[in-house]
Chains A and B, each alone.
Chain A
């Protein structure tokens, strides 16, 4: 991989490593015994390790100059593997968290393993570690193929992949140390947030510069989704994390917002994280890998355009449905509710578009577990968006809010949609990337499929049950007008559902382990013999100035 960089690029990479080390060392020094100091040390250490790795290859010969006529897939390869490793780690933690709700003593009396710390480790690990790496990896692949252009840079993709994973590492280790900015899905503190801003800007610029080199006049719709994901996440991240640190030597910071403005900003962020991290980017995946795998063009390209603009514009206003019955002005709640209901239209247009693309290829869906993953993903996408729009209706939300129904909805989306579409995309992508005829084992894909599906269904059904039971118990009144149940009664009633969820989660986790193994073994199979092909059209853009 390093041999694909020219000597100049290697030198530049070493400069960047030194900068990272210095940045880490500075944080370490000013942070001293604060957790900030530990994170500084972590960054400095990472910088040094990277430096040594590059240094050991510095005198390797320059890469073949015709590399600019090829697509650049090394960063995608790393992204795919790392993404699956995050999946295994973070669903393991997720299942641990699930067991904690059945057996609270399973923290083994350590601080770092308490529910409040492991929970964000799980959410950050799956959303950013697994989902984020999957999005970065597939976006690089789709971008190059649909533009018929090589990535506009050899070093910048690595800055994105490595930098993003360092951010995830800072986040996850920070929670175990007890750091939190107290904003869900935005828990990392100010220094990690600033670090991510730099990485994300590099990502955005790289994407735009590659698009500018494209040799296709029209930008394929998948790229619109990826671009919306990158751009909007940048905006969300920066605004929601505006904060003032206690001092430059401390990890703790305080948000610039307070009171109901803080709540609204947070859930404007939170819901759009769902929209642009967990939806838009994965729709980009869907619009490329599903037609490719099915061997059929998308059913309606026009519909994909209209639903793109529908989703981007409507989601922006829906965040207040997380704050029904709060101090938020009534009309803002109504606004969020209305937009959420309308949102079902473009969401179903996308899900329908995917399913109609498969219409006529059902025998492929039946025989090919990879395509079946994507089919199931589209179905769950339809289900969870319908459910979401329903839960956004204020009276419905009075029943669902604070209950496990929300958690069920989350995982119908996260397991059923986000994870399934990713598995389908990876199993399509991996043989292409490593130039293999097929995946290592189609039986293992099949096993992964059934484990993932069973796990998801068990998870979602037990949470629906427990959510409704909770909601009803909390609003049940006795004859004399007092509450019929105490809170602890409802906690006790949850036990069987939590048990079932944890079992379902374990099946899902197991599927992920199998997936990682299968992908790893595929990379080690002999490559297919192919005459050397120039996979880019011969018109070659100038070498990037990096």
Chain B
């Protein structure tokens, strides 16, 4: 096998697709994983109940 331009193009066109898809599914699974829900809700609300103190 020669590591020339065509090889890399072929590689990018095939495996590139699969890794992007895998990444996408990974993200969706993470975002919708049921036990993460509480963490996310808390994070979304956390910025609102900050005590906006000051330095001096």
- Pair A435/B54 contact, Cβ less than 8 Å: yes
A interface residues, tally (CB under 8 Å): 36
Cα A305 to Cα B20 in complex, Å, equals 16
- Pair A305/B54 contact, Cβ less than 8 Å: no
Task: State whether A535 and B54 are in contact (beta carbons under 8 Å apart), knowing that A305-B27, A305-B31, A313-B23 are contacts in the complex.
Answer: yes
A396 at interface by CB-CB < 8 Å: no
- One of B31, B39, B51 near A218 (C-beta < 8 A): B39
- Pair A530/B45 contact, Cβ less than 8 Å: no
Task: State whether A301 and B47 are in contact (beta carbons under 8 Å apart), knowing that A70-B55, A309-B27, A435-B54 are contacts in the complex.
Answer: no
Task: State whether A302 and B32 are in contact (beta carbons under 8 Å apart), knowing that A73-B55, A217-B39, A218-B42 are contacts in the complex.
Answer: yes
Q: How many residue pairs bridge A and B at CB < 8 Å?
A: 80
Cα A71 to Cα B53 in complex, Å, equals 8
- Pair B55/A221 contact, Cβ less than 8 Å: no
Contact bitstring B36-56, A, C-beta under 8 A = 1, else 0: 000111111111101111111
Q: Which residues of B contact A216 (CB under 8 A)?
A: 43, 46
- Pair B54/A146 contact, Cβ less than 8 Å: no
Cα A31 to Cα B9 in complex, Å, equals 44
Contact bitstring B13-47, A, C-beta under 8 A = 1, else 0: 10000001001100110111000000111111111
- Pair A301/B28 contact, Cβ less than 8 Å: no
Q: Which size class do B's interface residues fall under?
A: 20 to 34
Cα A70 to Cα B51 in complex, Å, equals 12
- One of B9, B20, B48 near A297 (C-beta < 8 A): B48
Q: Which of A132-140, A287-295, A319-327, A383-391 forms contacts with chain B?
A: A287-295
**Majority-rule SS of B interface residues:** helix
Task: State whether A301 and B9 are in contact (beta carbons under 8 Å apart), knowing that A70-B53, A535-B52, A535-B53 are contacts in the complex.
Answer: no
Task: State whether A302 and B31 are in contact (beta carbons under 8 Å apart), knowing that A70-B55, A71-B53 are contacts in the complex.
Answer: yes
- Pair A291/B47 contact, Cβ less than 8 Å: yes
Cα A220 to Cα B53 in complex, Å, equals 19
Cα A301 to Cα B31 in complex, Å, equals 9
- Pair B43/A535 contact, Cβ less than 8 Å: no
Q: Which residues of B contact A435 (CB under 8 A)?
A: 54-55
- One of A291, A301, A303, A534 near B53 (C-beta < 8 A): A534
Given A71-B53, A218-B40, A297-B47, 14 more contacts at CB 8 Å? A70-B53, A146-B46, A216-B46, A218-B43, A302-B31, A302-B40, A305-B30, A306-B28, A306-B31, A432-B54, A527-B54, A530-B53, A533-B54, A534-B53
A binding-site residues for B, Cβ under 8 Å: 67, 70-74, 145-146, 216-218, 220-221, 288, 291-292, 295-298, 301-303, 305-306, 309-310, 313, 331, 432, 435, 527, 530, 533-535
19 contacts between A and B (CB under 8 A): A74-B55, A220-B43, A291-B44, A292-B47, A297-B47, A301-B43, A305-B40, A306-B27, A306-B31, A310-B24, A331-B13, A432-B52, A435-B54, A530-B53, A533-B51, A533-B53, A535-B51, A535-B52, A535-B55
